[in-house]
Amino acid sequence: MKTKLVLAISVVFSAIVSAPAGAVVIYTTLGAGNTFQGPHFVSLDENTGQVAGSPADLNWAMAWIPSVDAIVTDIDVALSLGDAFSQVDENVAQMFLHLDAGGLPGAVIDNYQFTNLTSETLGGAVESAASSVNPSVMAGTTYWISLSAGLPSNGLYSQVGWHLNDQGVTGPIAEENNNAGWVSAGSPTQSAFRISGRPLPEPTTLALLGMGLFGLVAWRRTG
């Protein structure tokens, strides 16, 4: 009888620890209803020297801090296809999650790809993508999310806009020109994005569960 009871309780404890929690928002600059501003940062990728006076490659990154320990599940980003010129031939954007390295984007821990972006003349849209890596992130720790336009295959360049948030959220921003490394761009209004994830069990919860299981095993041996 005791053996069956211990086994049953052990199964319950294991289910509590392993059961996947639903995804929650762990960081956002998007407004209620996915609102954002029209102005945006522009990420550019071009065939070198094709557009006079512009960098061949321009990327942007925003710092963010998760509210809870979590496993990243998906991101939502306010993007638009830059069509101010006629030579855009790639409707692709790439997003990356980075560790922090001395106040700048560091090693990449996740990546996402977006296609068929809404034209900037139509105001852009919030695009969504699921994580294929599902990295763990820790509350109170700084991470970065960056945007890179897709490499042009035939035309002169590709251009993607990352719209600003309309919630007044400011924070560290970094830029990278021509693959020369990330540099600080100050702490102005950040772009609009949301990161969601499944919360991880708190260490104290795991410790209590472990102590409970240990106590049950000890009770069984003395019983």
Residue 55 to residues 22, 64, 162, 168: CA-CA distances in angstroms? Answer: 42, 26, 17, 29
The per-residue b/e assignment along 106-134, b for 16 or more CB within 10 angstroms, e otherwise, is eeebbebebeebbebeeebbbbebebeee
The domain locations on the chain are: 21-201
Q: Is the pLDDT of residue 193 over 90?
A: yes
Element (H, E) at 46: strand 40-46
- CATH code of domain 21-201: 2.60.120
pLDDT in tens, 46-69: 655 555 555 568 899 999 999 999
pLDDT in tens, 8-24: 444 444 444 444 458 99
Q: Is the pLDDT of residue 148 over 60?
A: yes
Entry pTM: 0.79
HSE-up (13 A, CA, CB side) for residue 6: 14
136 Cβ contact partners less than 8 Å away, ≥ 6 residues apart = 69, 70, 71, 72, 200
Q: Is the pLDDT of residue 113 over 70?
A: yes
pLDDT of residue 20: 47
